Chains A and B, each alone.
Chain A
Amino acid sequence: MNRRDAIRKTALMAGTAAGVPSFLSLLQACSKQERLTWVPEFLSEDQARFISAFVDTILPKTDTPGALDVKADVFIDLVYARTYDQKAQENVVAEIEKFNATAKDKFGNVFADLSLEDKTAFLKEQEANSPKFNPRVWGTAVGKQEPVGFYRGLKSMTLWAYFSSEEIGKNVLSYDPIPGEYKGCIPLADVGNSWSL
């Protein structure tokens, strides 16, 4: 059984075999902190906790919803599960492990279990050391794009997961599915937040 199947099977069992004590205690045993409230399709519990902590640090809840409120972490797991091939999936797992190993090394714990202060310090370091995306024209990067690395790739996915969610796209950004006309110059104040589409 490969990892993904194992996780799928676990999910199935969690759904149908609730109340089996040995199984529940097994899950609890491997999560010292708060348990996930969702069942990942691809990631392990610990890896999912990392993604949740990451998106929450990038886009926290304020007077507008945070990344966790719109289930950005759940969507990212789905993207890994459904759109990544096996090699890319293996790479994600390796990168998360590496990220956590570095966090442990520098701050004494895996990323999800760091204080907000330490999470911020750690991500700032990643931010400073990660290559950037080249500008794009019509869907293609301009010039030769060097790999942006795991941090910036995941930051980009976090933004996508958040801003393409229905809650943000419809209720927070300015949503106008059928504009009906093009006006080239109007006061920004008449629109407010960016157009969502």
Chain B
Amino acid sequence: MANFNIDAKQDMTYDAIVIGSGISGGWAAKELCEKGLKTLVLERGRLVEHVKDYPTMTLDPWDTELRGGLTPEQKARHPQGGRVGFIGEMNEHFHANDVENPYTEVKPFLWVRAHQMGGRSLLWGKQTYRWSDLDFEANAKDGHGVDWPIRYKDLAPWYTYVEKFAGISGEALGLPQLPDSHFLPPMELNCVEKHVKSRIEKDFPGRNMIIGRVAHLTEPINGRGKCQFRNRCDRGCPYGAYFSSNAVTLPAANATGNLTIRPFSIVQSIVYDEQTGKASGVRIIDAETNADIVYNAKIIFVNASTLSTTQILLNSTSNRFPNGLGNDSGELGHNLMDHTYRVGAMGKVEGFEDQYYKGRRPNGIYIPRYVNLQGGPQSDKFVRGFGYQGGGGRSNWGAGANEPDFGADFKDRMMKPGPWEFFITGFAECLPYHENKVYLNKDVLDKWGQPTLSIDAEWGANELALNEQIRIDAKEMLDRAGLKEVIDFDNKHEMGYGIHEMGTARMGRDPKTSVLNGFNQVHACKNVFVTDGACMTSSSCVNPSLTYMALTARAADHAVSELKKMNL
């Protein structure tokens, strides 16, 4: 792979600056570079080059001394993010250091961050679903939040555009609430998932259980290999089979010759020019030398990830914007959303003892939203809805600690697959509440002396009502499907566990109540674009990353078109 140009000393001025190199930043870089713009990507952390910088990608458990365990020193780097339960020896190097980058939980909030080239695109769940007008019209219809300035038809061609390049596997179903993508072949359900699917679809008309739609290649495209079913994605994929900035968009941007990526660049603020009424550049602190540097550009894409993007905007003050860039409405930092998570049910499936599967499929099942559909019955307990993710498989020795015995027979039994188990867990839509907010904390500074974020957000009554329905429905579906020992659960997680932070710089039609317009431009500073999760006006119950990709490609197209018309 071609080396990245990291020499940002040559030029202090670019056509475009992209802040952040995760899912949306990678797309912004690719689109802007391919349209001929000299583009500087500012990355807070280190370079992570595809394959070369995936040190654990092929390691078996016994290949490291601690077989996945973390030392106290490693654990101490993640006092907050570590709560997510995913951090281990094989991926610790892709998780941000909470001590150097503290945040304040006014109310409990889990913030999982990844400070390196590629960001969380190296760690994400790859579930990729289109949103629909059920989502884009929701605020207008029930009056929560403000209306989206776009509808599905505005985004549909851009979904297709990004899907063709990213590579999405799945099955077309023609559901209006979950529009089909441009699909590569779907992954397969296993015996028990097929069984549960047939029971649920028979007993609950209107409910579907499908294989997850995912950004994993099931056929090679664009020189990337297909998924080898190792399920070691969070270490980086040597085949480039899942979508990440590192494997997909940044190499494409680099291939144009227009990309410069500058690692260790902590964005302090966006520089606003009072004379021109536009942003003129970005001020950074070099994370290694503490040097204070300003880069200039005609357009700026802010893709630092939802909360970091808003942190930068809040810290970008000027005479014109004393409360943060683009914050005329006072909504910057507000309307923080996430998806509820870890509410559902699980149980055992009898039979199929002589059946097994091959491969570690990095994917599960999906049950699309079936409540409060357009034209369908409406709940009197809550607005909006939820979907489920889950899956089935056979237990193994990992369940052995709970077995009531030990010794020779026990050991022999632990060699064999245990019973089939199946679970589903809901993801519910979260309403945009003005009260759920983040703001700058000048009393707690990061390693570089910059103000940090305070996060003050919690679930509202609607989310709790949705969770209750998720739990009840999950148990009912698994009971009716004939599962045994069905347990329903609600872990009552705080916000952030969904790792789907959205909002805090929302799009809207009215500059008085929103931060961004229908093309993700800051209303009052149109050469600044925000196309990561911060821009979201509502949260849907559907995973958001594919929508960030589509919004970014659409905004980049608009930006270049406006540049050509000399409007920016």
A6 is an interface residue with CB less than 8 A from chain B: no
Interchain CB contact under 8 A, A75 and B67: yes
Contact with A along B356-367 (1 / 0, CB 8 A): 111111000000
| Interface assignment of A143: CB less than 8 Å from any CB of chain B | yes
Do residues A135 and B487 form an inter-chain contact, with CB atoms below 8 A? Answer: yes
Nearest opposing residue in chain B for A79, CB measure: B69
Contact with B along A125-143 (1 / 0, CB 8 A): 0011000110101111011
CB pair B361 A182 closer than 8 Å:
yes
CB of A179 within 8 A of CB of B228, answer yes
| B61-A164 in contact (CB<8A) | yes
Highest count of chain A CB atoms <10 Å: which of B411, B412, B425: B411
A191 and B72 contact, CB distance less than 8 A: no
A155 near B194: Cβ-Cβ < 8 Å: no
Whether the pair B228, A143 counts as a contact (CB closer than 8 A) is no
Q: Does B461 contact A (CB under 8 A)?
A: no
A182 touches B412 (CB 8 A): no
Report yes or no: A186 in contact with B406, Cβ–Cβ below 8 A.
no
Q: Which stretch, A7-15, A54-62, A100-108, touches the partner chain B? A: A54-62
CB distance from B355 to the nearest CB of A (A): 5
Q: Which of B5-13, B182-190, B377-385, B515-523 forms part of the interface with chain A? A: B182-190
Knowing A82-B69, A179-B358, A184-B191, the reply to whether A193 touches B416 (Cβ < 8 A) is yes
**A37: CB under 8 A from chain B?**
no
| CB of A146 within 8 Å of the partner chain | no
Please tell me which stretch of A21-29, A43-51, A91-99, A168-176 contacts chain B, meaning at least 4 of its Cβ atoms lie within 8 angstroms of it.
A168-176
A109 at the interface (CB under 8 A from B): no
Bound-state Cα–Cα, A55 to B71, Å? 23
In chain B, residues 340-389, which have Cβ atoms closer than 8 Å to a Cβ of chain A? 342, 344, 346, 353-361
Is A169's CB under 8 angstroms from B60's CB? yes
Instruction: Mark the stretch among B43-51, B304-312, B397-405 that contacts chain A.
Output: B397-405
A32 interfacial by beta-carbon distance below 8 Å = no
B86 A127 Cβ-Cβ under 8 A: no
In the complex, how many angstroms separate the beta carbon of A87 from the nearest chain B beta carbon?
Answer: 10
Residues of A within 8 A of B353 (CB): 188
- With both beta carbons as reference points, the residue of chain B lying nearest to A169 in the complex is identified as B62
A128: chain B residues within 8 A (beta carbon): 404
B406 near A127 with CB under 8 A, answer: yes
Give the contacting residue for B415; candidates A64, A83, A85; CB below 8 A. A64
Q: In residues 150-182 of chain A, which contact B (Cβ within 8 Å)? A: 152, 155-156, 159-160, 163-166, 169-170, 172-173, 176-182
Contact partners of A120 in chain B: CB under 8 A: 407
Q: Are B86 and A139 in contact (CB under 8 A)?
A: yes
B396: chain A residues at CB < 8 Å are 194-195
Query: Contacts of A173 on B, CB cut-off 8 Å?
Result: 415
Closest to A54 in B: B406
Verify if A39 is at the interface (C-beta below 8 Å from B).
no
A68 in contact (CB, < 8 A):
no
A187 within 8 A of B: yes
Q: With an 8 A cutoff between CB atoms, is B143 at the interface?
A: no
Cα distance A148–B408 when bound, in Å?
23
| A185 close to chain B: CB less than 8 A | yes
The CA-CA distance from A123 to B60 in the complex, in Å, is: 32
A166 cross-chain contacts in B, Cβ below 8 A: 60, 62
Contacts A83-B72, A183-B188: A60 and B411 contacting too (C-beta < 8 A)? yes
| In the bound complex, CA of A46 to CA of B190 (Å) | 49
Known interface pairs A85-B72, A142-B487, A194-B416. Does A188 touch B355 (Cβ–Cβ under 8 Å)?
A: yes
Shortest Cβ gap from A175 to chain B (Å): 8
| B401 and A79 contact, CB distance less than 8 A | no
Do B191 and A185 have beta carbons less than 8 Å apart? yes
Cβ of A78 under 8 Å from chain B: yes
From residue 404 to 424 of chain B, which have CB atoms closer than 8 A to chain A?
A: 404-408, 410-412, 414-417, 423
A194 touches B397 (CB 8 A): yes
Tell me, rounded to whole Å, the shortest Cβ–Cβ distance linking A54 to chain B: 10
Closest A residue by C-beta to B61:
A164
**Of residues 484 to 519 in B, which have CB atoms within 8 Å of A's CB atoms?**
487, 489, 491
Residues of A contacting B75 in the complex (Cβ-Cβ under 8 angstroms): 85
Complex interface: chain B residues within 8 A of A165 (CB):
62
Distance in angstroms between the alpha carbons of A120 and B228 in the assembled complex: 44
Q: A85 — which chain B residues lie within 8 A by C-beta?
A: 72, 75
Contact yes or no, B408 A84, CB < 8 A: no
Most buried by B among A84, A152, A164, A184: A184
A133 CA / B489 CA spacing, docked (Å) = 15
Task: Report B-chain residues with C-beta under 8 Å of the C-beta of A169.
Answer: 60-62
Q: A83-B72, A140-B342 are in contact. Are A132 and B402 (CB under 8 A)?
A: yes
Decide if A59 touches B346 in the complex (CB within 8 Å): no
Q: Are A82 and B66 in contact (CB under 8 A)?
A: yes
Check: A189 CB closer than 8 A to any chain B CB: yes
A197 within 8 A of B: yes
Cα distance, A194 to B411, chains bound together (Å): 13
Chain A residue nearest to B86 (CB atoms) is A139
Q: With a CB–CB cut-off of 8 A, which chain B residues contact A164?
A: 61-62, 67-68
Q: Is residue B70 within 8 Å, beta carbon to beta carbon, of the partner chain?
A: yes
- Beta-carbon nearest neighbor of A172 in chain B: B415
Asked if A127 meets B188 with Cβ closer than 8 Å, knowing A164-B67, A185-B355, the reply is no
- Other-chain contact of B359, A152, A159, A182, A189 (Cβ < 8 Å): A182
A141 to B: closest C-beta gap in Å: 8
Known: A120-B407, A133-B401, A188-B353. A181 touches B359 (CB 8 A): yes
Neighbour of A177 across the interface among B85, B230, B410, CB < 8 A? B230
- Given A127-B404, A135-B487, residue A182 in contact with residue B69 (CB < 8 A): no
Which of the listed residues B66, B394, B407 has the most CB atoms from chain A within 10 Å of its own CB? B407
- Which B residues are CB-close (under 8 A) to A59? 406, 410-411
Instruction: Tell me if B152 is interfacial: C-beta within 8 Å of chain A.
Output: no
Q: How far is the CB of B67 from chain A (nearest CB, A)?
A: 5
Partner of B358, one of A132, A137, A138, A186: A186
User: What are the 10 closest A-B residue pairs judged by CB atoms, nearest first?
Assistant: A182-B359, A156-B401, A184-B190, A179-B359, A166-B62, A139-B85, A164-B61, A185-B191, A184-B188, A83-B69
13 contacts between A and B (CB under 8 A): A59-B406, A59-B410, A83-B71, A137-B346, A138-B425, A142-B487, A164-B62, A177-B60, A177-B230, A180-B359, A182-B187, A183-B357, A185-B355
Which residues of A approach B to under 8 Å, CB–CB?
Answer: 57-60, 62, 64, 66, 75, 78-79, 82-85, 120, 123, 127-128, 132-133, 135, 137-140, 142-143, 148, 152, 155-156, 159-160, 163-166, 169-170, 172-173, 176-191, 193-195, 197
